[in-house]
Structure 1
Amino acid sequence: MTISKILGLLKNEIIKSSINLPENFEITSIKDNCENVEKNDVFVAIKGEIFDGHDFIQTSYKRGAVLFIVESDKNIPEKASYIKVKNTRKALSEIAFNFSNINSDNFKIFGVTGTNGKSTTVSLIHHLLRESKKTSTLIGTVEIKINDEVIDEPYNTTPGSLKLASILKESKEKNVEFINMEVSSHSIEQKRVENIKFDIIAYTNITRDHLDYHSTFEEYKNVKLSLVKNLKKDGKVILNIDNLKKEELKNVDKDKIITYGFSEDADYVIKDVSKSIYQMNFKIKTPEGSELSIYSSIVGDFNASNITLALISTKLMGLSYEEIKHGIITFSGVPGRFQLVPNSKNLGFSVVIDFAHTPDALEQVLKTAKDITTGRVIIVFGAGGHADVGKRKIMGAVASKYSDITILTTDDPKDDDPEKIIEDVKKGIDVNKNFIVIPNRKTAINAAINFANREDIVIIAGRGHELFQLFAKGKKVRFNDFEVAHEIIENLRRSMKK
């Protein structure tokens, strides 16, 4: 890509520029991390929550960067070429996608946003497409896959625009037809998906989350709803009307909106849900007037909603109802999403791992637990640091309301004080109910499993698939809830045989 091409792409964003290179000078690559910069690269300075890329311009210059795209004049080396723009994130997205020679018309693109349910939905859609011999790329919180190959286990729900462009470029080279991705509020606000146009945009739900980043719930909600501006001209929007109303989607023709939910007003109505710890069956009333019987090994009313969303989406993608129903049966779920630890059943009770880290998600998981067990519900959970402080008390109240025994422990405190987080959560807990604080997470899980009797269910919530606990000053400790629970159960089984 030439400097002339970059200037042309960014012409509407440029505030000023100073170019000391020939306009036909060829740029080698685009970087937003100074550690990756090589000779003849463009360095795009991004202002993050913790670090400001403008502070690394001098380092990038010494490493060989020849052009800087900035929002501020600070730290630009004398005589260096630079382009000052209104928004470097938007500029990065524009040049990254152009540099990779991709656009949204290369694919059929599904994007799902919402507070909960995104990972299960995109993973199921990817599974259904692959079961039907379609080519598909999955971009999600748990993993990124091109067809059946895992190419990354990501840090963010939605990668940055450089990474997204790279994934789409590789997908194009492998002749992938469908792109299925989770879209976070952060990625919308930070322009990561600015250059992606979607064939289908889906909304699972919007409930309280990320109020550490968004100043109010209304702002968070509006950011989510604004994704519809990225809809292709002939695209469709799928909406869960148990949580959202059609009228909340501005500037979208109502005939482009398909609804689903437990409400009889939905286009696709969920009904007659029956579930156990191992399986679930329910019916979906379709707009054609038929009733589909659905069988699944993932359970819970929230998963009935996720499955219905996946069914509508893949129907729009060209799959038949019969293909979809078969694929649902063979879908085993997503790690850390209401995931049964199977060896617990040998002890007569159930241990389940779930990512629930918002009040709504925790409530849905605990309601499901109460529905599928005749015993007690035991919850082990905490709240994360560097996150919405206001939800901590609410989560404590939810845990008290729906569980028989609450064990409060440490989640990922990051740079927050773990004891302060626990105190915040305790403010919502009913002290007249069975309740204990065990800060060490492994000890807390061990206690919960040892408390359990036959037919009880232990829910270990908050971290799901995550492999490391995060502490102050960037400290990471290997800790996966599933692995820890499995080990504790095995030790208990061995001790019982002695």
Structure 2
Amino acid sequence: MTSPARMRPQHPATHRVTDLTATFSLVADTLDPALAVTGVTVSSGDVAPGDLFVAVPGLKVHGATYAPQAVAAGAVAVVTDTAGAALVRDAGLTVPVLLTDDPRAVSGPLAAHVHGHPGKDLVTVGVTGTNGKTTTTYFVDAALRAAHAVTAVLGTVELRVGDDAVESPRTTVEAPALQAILALARERGAGAVAMEVSSHALALGRVRGLTFDVVGFTNLQRDHLDFHGDMEGYFRDKARLFDPEQARRGVVVVDDEWGRRLASSAQIPVETVATHVDDPHAADADWAVVTADIGLDGVGSSFVLRGPDGTEHAAASPLPGLVNVSNAALAIVLAHAAGVDLAVAVDAVAHAHEIPGRMERVVERGDGWPLCLVDYAHTPDALVLALEAVRPITPGRLILVFGSDGDRDQGKRPIMGQIAARLADVLVVTDENPRSEDPATIRAAILEGVRAERPSGADVHEATSRAQAIRDALALATDQDTVIVTGKGHEPTQEIAGVFHRYNDRDVYLAARAERSHARAEQHA
């Protein structure tokens, strides 16, 4: 596979457009009874011959503006609203236009119908929350793979069906793309799917048309307030995943007030998980972590999970830190709720493979090198958890390379700076994804928070290049130190002034190590 747009079943079913208009109450002029479709898309760039192109209104441009490109690529009809229909006709197109009041809302159910509701033939697990979605989803996938010969995992890092994977364009793909991937998974014999479900996806209806077997909630922390407005709006959108039309049952971590609120208000059956040892709420939870040891080797953590019947189960996370105890505990309960034997789930999660950009150990400590880590932590709470997880395995100084995104929640920037100055020894402030903002302005907001916590500015550095920031950190470090680069994790690009540049933190570490090894070899030649 080379593109998410091509993650479609090889043998799609054919549906007459007249049948679709009747099923979904689409209004159309006279249609050719023989006109048929084999796919659905909301992206003109992803159109395959025989598709329905669903043109949705956007914040700045209506999707119908791109109808000419969609038709040229093979779209046989356009589903849109009245404003979109006018744009289609103004463009001189003669393809059938099918009218609906809310084309975005209908796109998921329409695609599910066209692909034969593939989600009904798969065990489907969805994970939402601010921090830990990716890690928990991979842990769940590890458990599902222990019970199913073929699985799919869909999320921030990749879209993978069996052994085939492509880079993911976003945490949760658009509804028609999701249904096509599920249909491909079914065609390839997959038995289960684990996927991340973002708050944006829930607000924009990207998982409409799919009712999950089990859904999980990790936590709710400050993030995406530029989109949701405030924490109440953020919570409301996350809670959509626990509506009866969206999921059959849920598992909720109740370590924070939002989790407890969700567990008490959800309209589907919910199991609760408490993962903070000695939390007063743990006694009331269905599942609870009763002991936890993050380990001194920094590789993993062990813990004991109490089940609803009072039985205690020895378990482990392959990643360090208490946050990953929480992720692993949730994953075990989710997988068990999805039909995996509990002992099998516990063992599979303990032996899950490394997750790209999540506490990823890129260079091990020794031979003059510090321990070099990459972690996706990009929210205040995630940064705290990452630094607290690394501190116990750092004999020397904790060196942090970090920044903050442009065109996103500006209020968290000084907060991130304060946290970094409090919990790390050496800071290198640099760029993350500036997008359309001036990178210097973003860094200045972070440094304002740094100075509030560390007025002297001691051991605080600024770098205008992210790659140079990592090299600067390595130059400062000894083999007793730990260098952790946060904010981008697995991401393969950096967006600057609207341009995506190929970039990955891990690659910079490895390039620096190769250069140093080459220089040493030349010295001894």
Q: Which residue of 2 aligns with 1:19?
A: 29
Q: Note closer, same or farther for the CA distance 1:345–1:67 as it changes in structure 2 (3 Å cut).
A: same
Q: CA deviation at 1:496?
A: 5.7
Q: Note closer, same or farther for the CA distance 1:31–1:315 as it changes in structure 2 (3 Å cut).
A: closer
2:40 corresponds to which of 30, 45, 67: 30
Q: Is the 1:298–1:332 contact (alpha carbons within 8 Å) kept by the matching residues of 2?
A: no
Q: Is the 2:250–2:269 contact (alpha carbons within 8 Å) kept by the matching residues of 1?
A: no
Q: CA deviation at 1:143?
A: 1.6
In the aligned structure 2, how far is the partner of 1:194 from the partner of 1:67? 21
Query: What amino acid does structure 2 have at the position aligned with 1:460?
Result: V
In the aligned structure 2, how far is the partner of 1:231 from the partner of 1:260? 26
Q: CA deviation at 1:465?
A: 0.8
2:428 pairs with 1:428: no
Is 395-404 or 367-376 further displaced after alignment? 367-376
Q: Which residue of 2 aligns with 1:442?
A: 467
Q: Which residue of 1 aligns with 2:4?
A: none
Q: Which residue of 2 aligns with 1:67?
A: 77
2:509 corresponds to which of 485, 489, 493: 485
Q: Note closer, same or farther for the CA distance 1:249–1:318 as it changes in structure 2 (3 Å cut).
A: closer
Q: Is the 1:121–1:306 contact (alpha carbons within 8 Å) kept by the matching residues of 2?
A: yes
Give aligned-pair identity as a percent. 26
Query: What amino acid does structure 2 have at the position aligned with 1:487?
Result: A
In the aligned structure 1, how far is the partner of 2:59 from the partner of 2:375? 28
1:236 corresponds to which of 245, 249, 257: 249
Q: Which residue of 2 aligns with 1:384?
A: 405
In the aligned structure 2, how far is the partner of 1:19 from the partner of 1:356? 52
In the aligned structure 2, how far is the partner of 1:274 from the partner of 1:40? 54
Unaligned stretches of 5+ residues in structure 1: none
Q: Is the 1:238–1:260 contact (alpha carbons within 8 Å) kept by the matching residues of 2?
A: no
Deviations 1:259-317 (Å, cap 9, x if unpaired)?
Answer: 23213333222223232322322222222222222234311111000100111112223
Secondary structure in 1 aligned to 2:474? helix
Is 222-231 or 398-407 further displaced after alignment? 222-231
In the aligned structure 2, how far is the partner of 1:341 from the partner of 1:151? 22
Alignment of 1:67-466 (within 5 A): 67-71=77-81, 72=83, 73-77=85-89, 81-147=96-162, 149-230=163-244, 235-243=248-256, 244-249=258-263, 252=266, 256-262=270-276, 263=279, 264-265=282-283, 266-270=285-289, 271-276=291-296, 277-347=298-368, 349-430=370-451, 431-432=455-456, 433-466=458-491
Q: CA deviation at 1:253?
A: 5.3
In the aligned structure 1, how far is the partner of 2:49 from the partner of 2:299? 56
2:58 pairs with 1:48: yes
Is 161-170 or 238-247 further displaced after alignment? 238-247
Query: What amino acid does structure 2 have at the position aligned with 1:211?
Result: L
Secondary structure in 1 aligned to 2:178? helix
In the aligned structure 2, how far is the partner of 1:302 from the partner of 1:117? 8
Secondary structure in 2 aligned to 1:179? strand
Deviations 1:411-458 (Å, cap 9, x if unpaired)?
Answer: 111221111111121221133242111111111101111211232211
Q: CA deviation at 1:372?
A: 2.4
Q: Note closer, same or farther for the CA distance 1:100–1:449 as it changes in structure 2 (3 Å cut).
A: same
Q: Note closer, same or farther for the CA distance 1:236–1:421 as it changes in structure 2 (3 Å cut).
A: same
Q: Note closer, same or farther for the CA distance 1:380–1:290 as it changes in structure 2 (3 Å cut).
A: same
Alignment of 1:468-479 (within 5 A): 468-473=493-498, 475-479=499-503
Q: CA deviation at 1:201?
A: 1.1
Q: CA deviation at 1:188?
A: 0.8
Query: What amino acid does structure 1 have at the position aligned with 2:222?
Result: R
Q: Is the 2:377–2:487 contact (alpha carbons within 8 Å) kept by the matching residues of 1?
A: yes
In the aligned structure 2, how far is the partner of 1:396 from the partner of 1:83? 51
* Aligned-residue CA RMSD (Å): 2.4
Q: Is the 2:288–2:306 contact (alpha carbons within 8 Å) kept by the matching residues of 1?
A: yes
**TM-score normalised to the size of structure 1?**
0.92
In the aligned structure 1, how far is the partner of 2:378 from the partner of 2:505? 14
Q: Note closer, same or farther for the CA distance 1:238–1:420 as it changes in structure 2 (3 Å cut).
A: same
Deviations 1:21-56 (Å, cap 9, x if unpaired)?
Answer: 234532354332334546664321123345431212
Q: Note closer, same or farther for the CA distance 1:40–1:165 as it changes in structure 2 (3 Å cut).
A: closer
Q: Note closer, same or farther for the CA distance 1:490–1:63 as it changes in structure 2 (3 Å cut).
A: closer
Q: Is the 2:140–2:331 contact (alpha carbons within 8 Å) kept by the matching residues of 1?
A: yes
Query: What amino acid does structure 2 have at the position aligned with 1:83?
Result: L
Q: Is the 1:112–1:202 contact (alpha carbons within 8 Å) kept by the matching residues of 2?
A: yes
Q: Note closer, same or farther for the CA distance 1:80–1:20 as it changes in structure 2 (3 Å cut).
A: farther
Q: CA deviation at 1:352?
A: 0.7
Q: CA deviation at 1:318?
A: 3.1
Q: CA deviation at 1:250?
A: 6.5
Q: CA deviation at 1:206?
A: 0.9
In the aligned structure 1, how far is the partner of 2:495 from the partner of 2:159? 22
Q: Note closer, same or farther for the CA distance 1:378–1:49 as it changes in structure 2 (3 Å cut).
A: farther
Q: CA deviation at 1:495?
A: 4.4
In the aligned structure 2, how far is the partner of 1:298 from the partner of 1:317? 23
Is 389-398 or 111-120 further displaced after alignment? 389-398
In the aligned structure 1, how far is the partner of 2:161 from the partner of 2:354? 18
Is 476-485 or 298-307 further displaced after alignment? 476-485
In the aligned structure 2, how far is the partner of 1:41 from the partner of 1:318? 36
Q: Is the 1:197–1:232 contact (alpha carbons within 8 Å) kept by the matching residues of 2?
A: yes
**TM-score normalised to the size of structure 2?**
0.87
Query: What amino acid does structure 2 have at the position aligned with 1:287?
Result: P
Is 441-450 or 101-110 further displaced after alignment? 101-110
Deviations 1:305-345 (Å, cap 9, x if unpaired)?
Answer: 01001111122233333323332332232010011113444
Deviations 1:101-153 (Å, cap 9, x if unpaired)?
Answer: 12432122110000111111111111122234543211121122223x13322
In the aligned structure 2, how far is the partner of 1:322 from the partner of 1:251? 30
Secondary structure in 2 aligned to 1:386? coil
Q: Is the 2:226–2:409 contact (alpha carbons within 8 Å) kept by the matching residues of 1?
A: yes
Query: What amino acid does structure 1 have at the position aligned with 2:287?
Result: Y
Q: Note closer, same or farther for the CA distance 1:66–1:273 as it changes in structure 2 (3 Å cut).
A: same
Q: CA deviation at 1:391?
A: 1.5
Is 62-71 or 337-346 further displaced after alignment? 62-71
Secondary structure in 2 aligned to 1:428? helix
Unaligned stretches of 5+ residues in structure 2: 1-14
Q: Note closer, same or farther for the CA distance 1:114–1:447 as it changes in structure 2 (3 Å cut).
A: same
In the aligned structure 1, how far is the partner of 2:335 from the partner of 2:305? 15
Secondary structure in 2 aligned to 1:186? helix
Q: Note closer, same or farther for the CA distance 1:202–1:457 as it changes in structure 2 (3 Å cut).
A: same
- Equivalenced residue count is 491
